[in-house]
A and B are shown apart, each in its own frame.
Chain A
């Protein structure tokens, strides 16, 4: 049995970087403002539509290649980042911040975020349906640059992977070296203490939401190159983002990055292996995300951060003991 690995691995890396980009925002808003944000899906969708419409408006320039092409591509990504960031900031200012001030629990914020998500998604749906672009295909397309071990290495790989690495390192520097970044971390670990210590929590909050929305929008922009956008695109991705974020512990920055790649590989490579080895249909992909979410919640709510080999051994022993007890009783 031969399992083709080069293509799934390349795809997994691409998917992993996209998930990482998008999931960082989900983790940040939960860690710092306690919103399990279901509206995050909509920031992705908005970013994707923005990038695609920008690219299509200047689509004529794409044909010139070279500098014009680069300008349109860069422009579409930047615009997607900004639009999604501003929308995210607005939702926080209008909904989540007032609710938080009134002492809403994470559960209330979750329900509110579902409401916010519905509002954004269906305003977007009404707009795009009115312009008759319910399904929007970007004119920036995926093109193979060269073959890597028989698998296509595309322009999207060349954009998304370095961008994700750069952003991951940049944010790491920001969180560890700057006042704002340190304030962000302080606020994530203890809101009241951070406030007492003189950190401008409102400013940190705004920065967090702007960044979270922007990164989601950028992820959506990359996504729009890969597949056509629909108003449901973001919602379809959200499950994977929750899986990535939760796998990383839901509040950990590096955990989320690791989670994003693990989920990307689990989705793509995992299903390929399952398909080739056991004949599992590709349509069951989402089951993997669900299994990750539920298992992590039940077995190790802290996620994979700080997991050591002895921990793994301990967990295995505990479960074996439980299984043995169950059979012994029966």
Chain B
């Protein structure tokens, strides 16, 4: 049987892109600013709800808010899909607006989080944020107005659903990867900037940073806002991909997957996060029921294959913390433009005068 990758590759690309954004945002918060935001899934879900609400409400209004069709049930979703397919410009515009809105809403909640973050020690903050993520899921699952409660808010159309069905997923995967790459470059530039060094100073010694006149509470709040805004964008991308905002999807393992990507790859190292995210995406692939069928193996274990993935995540966390606490790619010195210029000069001098004095080498 020929291996059919036309379904699998877009799926992997999309999942990779979404989790990579989440992991990069966690790296900014934890790796650089030292704020262990283990409730990432909360900000991710908030972005998803914001995107889904905006999109479904706008499409519903465009459809003339039909009173005889229930908004939350399947029939309502069908109406929204039809509107989206008929108006490509509208749905793409809504998609972009949703991303912006999700980022803003995520950032707003990140700003709120800075209130406890300023007052709690690392482990206490982590416990509180895990609790926030868990409780918000239960709350939204029972409170219909946010995301349809137990029904979920379905009928969030894929922004490219007006294209031929064969290419929709591929186009979406490319868009997600493009956004992920953009945010990756943004994160690298941000953390290499003076602001990034300020974040590190906060992480390493908040008191000293304050003594040097830095406004540490404001910096912390900003780091959390940036990280949570990115998580919100990731949540919006997820909701547009699965076409439903459903509270029960936002389980703690989402946060822990992003955390594992960061600590496996290397805390405070964006390339490490890339490696970690790639590794975890591969793990995701091999623990999908579809994977053995690629090799014509149709045996099914008597348990859910997801268990194997979650088990592997646990094992990776433990093994990395015990044997390689700095991750695969440890943190490296900051790469400022001054360092780059200095390095180039040294190289030039060495070329001009090969004997060179040992004093001019720069690591």
B139 touches A106 (CB 8 A): no
B317 touches A122 (CB 8 A): no
Among B116, B126, B314, B322, contact of A117 (Cβ-Cβ < 8 Å): B314
A290 touches B127 (CB 8 A): no
B325 touches A108 (CB 8 A): yes
B122 touches A105 (CB 8 A): yes
Task: Give the secondary structure class of A's interface.
Answer: helix
Instruction: State how many residues of chain B have any CB contact under 8 Å with chain A.
Output: 42
Choose, from A178-186, A279-287, A307-315, the stretch at the interface.
Answer: A279-287
| Chain A nearest Cβ from B120, distance in angstroms | 6
Among A36, A129, A239, A242, contact of B302 (Cβ-Cβ < 8 Å): A129
- The closest CB in chain A to the CB of B126 belongs to A110
Choose, from B66-74, B130-138, B330-338, B342-350, the stretch at the interface.
Answer: B130-138
Which of A36, A114, A119, A132: most chain B CB closer than 10 A?
Answer: A114
Contacts A111-B38, A122-B314, A286-B138 aside, 5 further interface pairs with beta carbons under 8 A come to A36-B123, A112-B317, A115-B314, A129-B307, A130-B303
Task: Give the secondary structure class of B's interface.
Answer: helix
Instruction: State how many residues of chain A have any CB contact under 8 Å with chain B.
Output: 45
Q: Is B184 an interface residue (CB 8 A)?
A: no
Pull 25 A–B residue pairs with CB atoms less than 8 Å apart, ordered by A. Answer: A38-B130, A95-B318, A105-B122, A106-B122, A107-B36, A107-B122, A111-B36, A111-B263, A119-B314, A120-B314, A122-B310, A122-B314, A126-B308, A129-B302, A130-B303, A132-B302, A242-B131, A284-B138, A284-B139, A286-B138, A290-B134, A293-B131, A294-B131, A297-B116, A297-B128
Mask, A81-123, CB within 8 Å of B = 1, is: 0000000000000010011001011111111101111111111
- The closest CB in chain A to the CB of B263 belongs to A111
B127 touches A122 (CB 8 A): no
- The closest CB in chain A to the CB of B34 belongs to A107
Q: Is B304 an interface residue (CB 8 A)?
A: yes
Residues of A within 8 Å of B317, CB to CB, are: 111-112, 114-115, 118
Chain A residues proximal to chain B, CB less than 8 Å: 36, 38, 95, 98-99, 102, 104-112, 114-123, 125-126, 129-130, 132, 239, 242, 246, 281, 283-284, 286-287, 289-290, 293-294, 297-298, 301
Residues of A within 8 Å of B139, CB to CB, are: 284, 286-287
Among A104, A123, A126, A246, contact of B321 (Cβ-Cβ < 8 Å): A104
Which of B116, B121, B123, B126: most chain A CB closer than 10 A?
Answer: B123
Residues of B within 8 Å of A112, CB to CB, are: 317-318, 321-322
